[in-house]
Amino acid sequence: MPATTPYQLFDMTLKRREQISPSMVNLTFTANDLDMATTFAPDQRVKLFFPPSDEDSASMAARFADGEDWYSAYKNMAPEARPPMRTYTIRAVRPEQKELDIEFVLHGDTGPASRWASRARPGDALSINAPCIHYTGKAIGCEWRPPASIEHLLLVADETALPAVMGIIEELDARFANAPKPRVQALLEVPLKADCRCIPQWIDAVWLPREETRCCHGERLSRAVRTLALKQSSSPSATSSALAIDIDEEILWDVSAPESDDSFYAWIASESRVCLNIRRYLVDELAVPKRQVSAMGYWREGKAHP
């Protein structure tokens, strides 16, 4: 029977952990009903709920099993009992094995997510609000929408968006395995050289570790974009589009709707201010049509982003 809502709450148990690199860990979860979970795109966003204390469990699905408006009930919970909620990307889902993977950036005890991921061991519990496999409506919680006639792709990401980018690259590699490949440029900023990963050789990937540099977060990304040989539009006045956003108070989330015959598409995800600066360069200085640029602030410097 088709689901009427796109997302469903699941109470999961950590099955195994894999240290991908010094700054990244992949956690594989399982649950009896995880065969009901899916993704709509490789950059699928989900909400994770972390235990409010070392002794407690989030158990969101068990709390709201009767189908009530869980979000309103969640917001009305006492602050000390409310499980911290954070946005993450599903790295992989295997319904037949009832498994789901989430990659975490490890940055110490600076937040509930990194703190939990650093200490989690098999058997520990975590709750997730993820897409339901029986939902047949419009896909939500994902922004990867390249045009059908794509010839040139630009992927720009820091480590928080690396799980999404790796999923996108895997999708592209499978899609164009036996077909003419588009030009794909990927600029990927990570904390350490050891965080760089293997990428298919046909992808033009540039890794930008901050290690042993004095660069601020996102600085190497912003500089690298300006070194690319990107074609400038011949009609800048027709395509320039400034965003009305208070970057100190809001998260940048400017999603494109490319036309099917567009040949260029940029997918940008990093710290919000960095994203805005890169978008401004592409849209305002190079006059790339704004419909061809998706810019998502995955986080904001100095602010928690649920």
Q: What is the predicted pLDDT for the residue at 180? A: 94
CATH number of the domain within which 229 lies: 3.40.50.80
55-64: pLDDT as tens digits? 667 688 888 7
pLDDT band at 239 (very low <50, low <70, confident <90, very high): very low
Q: What is the predicted pLDDT for the residue at 63? A: 81
79-118: pLDDT as tens digits? 888 899 999 999 999 999 999 999 999 988 888 999 999 9
Rounded to an integer, the average pLDDT of 200-229 is: 94
Q: Lay out the sheet containing 152-157: strands in order across.
A: 204-209, 183-190, 152-157, 264-271, 293-299, 253-254
Instruction: Please give the DSSP secondary-structure letter assigned to residue 160.
Output: G
Question: Does 3 score more than 70 pLDDT?
Answer: no
Query: By residue range, what is the domain housing residue 114?
Result: 7-131
195-206: pLDDT as tens digits? 999 999 999 999
The per-residue pLDDT of the chain, averaged, comes to 90
Question: Does 237 score more than 50 pLDDT?
Answer: no
CA distance 151 to 155: 13
Residue 139 in domain? no
Percent of the chain with pLDDT over 70: 89
Q: What is the predicted pLDDT for the residue at 33? A: 96
Domain count, the chain: 2
CA distance 151 to 179: 12
Last residue of a domain, one of 131, 161, 190: 131
Residue 2 in domain? no
Rounded to an integer, the average pLDDT of 186-214 is: 96
Q: What is the predicted pLDDT for the residue at 69? A: 79
Question: Does 70 score more than 90 pLDDT?
Answer: no
Question: Does 22 score more than 50 pLDDT?
Answer: yes
Residue 13 in domain? yes
- Whether residues 170 and 278 share a domain: the answer is yes
Residue 237 in domain? yes
CA distance 264 to 13: 41
CA distance 100 to 238: 44
Question: Does 242 score more than 80 pLDDT?
Answer: no
The amino acid that residue 207 corresponds to is: W
CB 24 within 8 A of CB 107: no
Q: What is the predicted pLDDT for the residue at 238? A: 43
CB 9 within 8 A of CB 129: yes
Rounded to an integer, the average pLDDT of 250-261 is: 86
Question: Does 228 score more than 80 pLDDT?
Answer: yes
- Could you identify the residue written with the tokens 């965003």? 243
pTM of the model: 0.92
Cα 292 to Cα 28, 165, 252, 267, 287, distances in angstroms: 34, 17, 16, 9, 11
CATH number of the domain within which 62 lies: 2.40.30.10
